[in-house]
Amino acid sequence: MSPGGRSFPTRPARAVRTWSVVAARRLAGVAAGAVRVVTGRLSLFYHVAVIILAAAIAATLPFTFAFLARRLLASWSAIEDEKVFLVSTELAVALVLVLVLSRARTNWRNRRLSKIARAAGLVHLGAANGILSRRVARRLKERHAFARDIMIIGSTGFRTLVEPRGDLRAVIENCRSAKIMLLDPESRGAIERVRTIGDPEITCESLRTQVEQTIAFLRALPAAHQRIHLKLYSEPPLWKLAILGDHAWVRHYPPALDVRVLPEYVFVHGQDPAGLYTAFYQYFVMRWNDSAIPEYDLLAGALVYAGGARRAVGGASSRS
C-alpha cells in the first residue's frame, strides 16, 4: 500500500501474470502442433487406405475375370443358336453406335460454335417470342443499366420506353444518364420505313404520334434536361441498339418485318479485341457525334440543328 492510499502490483503479481501469458502461449503452440499431427496422420491414413484398396482390387481381378468368363461362356452356349437374338443384338449395338457418334458430332459442333460466340463476346440470346424470355430480358436489362450510363438507338421508342411493360421503361427511370437516338418522323427515313414494312397499322402518322409520346415521356422524367439527351436521325433504322453499361443489346431492323420477330443478341465488354461490343459502341459514338443529326432540346421542346435552326417535331422550321 502506497502512502496515498493506492495499491500497486507487486513483483510476485507481475511474475504470476507473465507466467500465465507464457503458459497460455505454450498451450496454444502445443494445441496447434497436435492439430498438425492429427491432420498429418489423417492424410497418412487416407493414403494407406487408398493403397490397400487398390491392392485388394488388383488381387481380385483374376478371380473377377475368371468368373465373368465362365458366365459369358455359359450364356453364349445358351444363345449361340438363337439367330433372332443375335440379329436383335447387332441392331441394338448399331443403333447405340449411331446415337453415340451423332451425339459426339453434335457436341463437337456446339463446342466449336460456343468458342466462336465467346470470341465475339456473345453471352445471351433472347428469343423473339415468349413471355418468359421477355421477362428474363427485362430483368437483365434492369440489372445491367442500374445507375449506369446508357446509350439507345431505336425507331420510335414507344414500345420500349413508354409502354409500362417496355424493356427499357425501368432502365430509363433508374439510369445515371442516357443518350437516345430515335427516328425523325418527318424524315425520308420514316417514309421509307413505313413503305417497306408494309403493315397497314404502321403509317407516317402513327410513327409521328409514337415519337411525340416518347418525347413527352422523356421530358416528364426527373431532371430530364440534365441526364437525358435525345437526337433524331433521318435515315431508315438499321440497328435497335441498347448499350447498358458493359453489355450491348442488339437487334437488326429487317426492311420488311417488325423488329420484334427477330432474336436479341447480348454482347459483353471484355479484353478480347475480337469482341463485337466495341464495334457497336464505336458505331453509336460515331452516329452520336455526327453534326448532321440534330439534338432535341427537352427543355425548349424543339430540334436544334448545327446551323442554329429550330424545329418542333411535326411543326414548321424557324430561326432562333
Other beta carbons less than 10 A from residue 311's beta carbon: 18
The whole-number pLDDT of residue 59 equals 83
Report the pLDDT averaged over residues 205-216.
93
282 falls in which pLDDT band (50, 70, 90)? very high
What secondary structure, in 3-state letters, does the chain show? Answer: CCCCCCCCCCHHHHHHHHHHHHHHHHHHHHHHHHHHHHHHHHHHHHHHHHHHHHHHHHHHHHHHHHHHHHHHHHHHHHHCCCHHHHHHHHHHHHHHHHHHHHHHHHHHHHHHHHHHHHHHCEEEEECCCCHHHHHHHHHHHHHHHCCCEEEEECCCCHHHHHCCCCCCHHHHHHCCEEEEEEECCCCHHHHHHHHHHCCCCCCHHHHHHHHHHHHHHHHCCCCHHHHEEEEEECCCCCEEEEEECCEEEEEECCCCCCHHHCCEEEEECCCCCCCCHHHHHHHHHHHHCCCCCCEEECCCCEEECCCCEEECCCCCEEEC
Residue predicted with more confidence, 130 or 237:
237
Each residue of 9-50: pLDDT tens digit?
455 556 556 666 666 666 666 566 665 655 666 677 777 888
pLDDT at site 189: 92
Nearest CA to 10 among 24, 23, 25, 18?
18
Between residues 184 and 77, the one the model is more confident about:
184
Of the pLDDT bands very low, low, confident and very high (cuts 50, 70, 90), residue 320 is very low
Q: What is the model's pLDDT at position 87?
A: 78
The mean per-residue pLDDT over the stretch 68-88 comes to 74
Task: Write down the pLDDT at residue 65.
Answer: 81
Q: How far is Cα 131 from Cα 113, in angstroms, rounded to an integer?
A: 27
Q: Answer yes or no: is pLDDT of 148 > 70.
A: yes
Which residues pair with residue 240 across a beta bridge? 251
Protein fold of 124-319: Endonuclease; Chain A (3.30.870)
264: Cα within 13 Å, side-chain hemisphere: 25
Whether residue 156 has pLDDT greater than 90: yes
State yes or no: pLDDT of 4 exceeds 50. Answer: no
pLDDT for the residue numbered 179? 96
Give the pLDDT of residue 2.
Answer: 45
Among 79-83, 103-107, 216-220, 303-307, the least confident range: 79-83
pLDDT of residue 208: 92
126: closest CA among 250, 237, 254?
250
Q: Calculate what percentage of the chain has a pLDDT beyond 70.
A: 82
Residue 184 has pLDDT above 90, yes or no: yes
Per-residue pLDDT band at 277 (split at 50, 70, 90): very high
Q: How confident is the model at residue 200 (pLDDT cuts 50, 70, 90)?
A: confident
Inform me whether the pLDDT recorded for 246 exceeds 50. yes
Q: Is the pLDDT of residue 191 over 60?
A: yes
Q: Are strands 264-268 and 317-319 parallel, antiparallel or unpaired?
A: unpaired
How much is the pLDDT for 237?
Answer: 93
Q: Where are the domains of the chain?
A: 82-117, 124-319
pLDDT of res. 315? 44
Average per-residue pLDDT for the chain: 83
**What pLDDT digit, counting tens, does each position of 298-318 carry?**
888 888 888 777 877 644 444
